[in-house]
Amino acid sequence: MGHDGGGPATDADVAAYWRSLGLPGLADIHVHFLPSSMLTKVWAYFDSAERHYGRAWPVRYKLPEDERLARVRALGLRGIPSLTYPHKPGMARWLNDWCTDFAARVPDAVHSATLYPEDDCASYVASALSAGARLFKMHVQVGVFAPDDPRLDGAWALLEQAQVPVVLHAGSAPQPGEHTGPAPVARLLRRFPRLVLVIAHLGMSEYHAFADLAETHEGVHLDTTMAGTDYVEAFAPMPPGYVPRLAGLRDKVVLGSDFPNIPYPYAHQLQALHRLDLGDDWLRAVLWGNGSRLMGLDRAGSAEVVEPFVS
């Protein structure tokens, strides 16, 4: 079916939009549910974003956890990742325990976990995998470490063997870090070439370089988080010649949103993807097919249960 509009105008229109594409829902691989103490600090950071980034970043969905869960279900998410990330040693094991509890109490959760370069990294990654983790998160900018740090080797070997995807924030936007950029990821892939990596934010602002890695490594994917939105296009626009590359990478591009920590309605991410004008088959792959494969939603047989939308 073709679309004459520009995608869903509001969050209340999102479910009708994916239904019009013949989809059972959305497979959003980049969603954050965090321990309350951590989330409070994350929101405080975004509240002072003007100091960090030079522009305001008003978090759109600053709601209690039960309301955030109701919201993503109403939007049509068929799996709910938690995607925690540590910024210092000793945090990852605690965060993984929290994610295990989240997966136990939230029936449609995508059991997530994280890792940090430290001596017991391989041990707690093995424990998380044994507990059922099927999606990992790594943020080299926040954690201030290189993804090819030797202390991660044992964990990477386990993740490569298990073929469990890792959502990896490695691009240099919104601020470059000591270890951001494509070069450290390329070094990592030379040593662990079968890793399943999902490069967050399409790797902005090194869009083309991360697309190179996706084109040359079977397991490397790109998530759409914030990409193409009005907010991001103002400071990290997609470069010339990039959108046609996204068309060619149809089976490697995965819906991501950064819910709840976004400064605009969720619907705007879908508008941004719709206006790339890459066609309904591309949208079906990106909004559902690729993410459902990576998160195992196509195997989980998620039921379509959409709660009434509450504005």
CATH code (residue 79) = 3.20.20.140
- Residue 14 lies inside a defined structural domain of this protein: no
Distance CA 264, CA 58 (A): 8
* Virtual torsion, Cα 37, 229, 26, 287, nearest 10 deg: -140
- Residue 270 lies inside a defined structural domain of this protein: yes
- Residue 280 lies inside a defined structural domain of this protein: yes
- Residue 62 lies inside a defined structural domain of this protein: yes
Total length of the chain: 311
Domain ranges, residue 31: 24-297
Residue 132 falls in which region: left (phi positive, over 0), alpha (psi -120 to 50) or beta: left
Number of domains within the chain: 1
CB 86 within 8 A of CB 92: yes
Say yes or no to pLDDT of 294 above 60: yes
Say yes or no to pLDDT of 303 above 50: no
- Which of 137, 177, 141 has its CA nearest to residue 155? 137
Q: Is the dihedral angle over the CA atoms 177, 180, 184, 189 positive or is it negative?
A: positive
Burial of 297 (0-12, 13-18, 19+ CB in 10 A): buried
- Residue 231 lies inside a defined structural domain of this protein: yes
pLDDT band at 309, cuts 50/70/90? very low
Question: pTM of the predicted model, to two decimals?
Answer: 0.94
Residue 124 structure tokens: 């707690």
Over residues 196-249, the pLDDT tens digits come to 999 999 999 999 999 999 999 999 999 999 999 999 999 999 999 999 999 999
What is the helix (H) or strand (E) element at residue 69, kind and residue range? helix 65-75
For the ranges 3-7, 121-125, 177-181, 277-281, which has the lowest average pLDDT? 3-7
Over residues 22-77, the pLDDT tens digits come to 999 999 999 999 999 999 999 999 999 898 888 999 999 999 999 999 999 999 99
CB 185 within 8 A of CB 164: no
- Residue 1 lies inside a defined structural domain of this protein: no
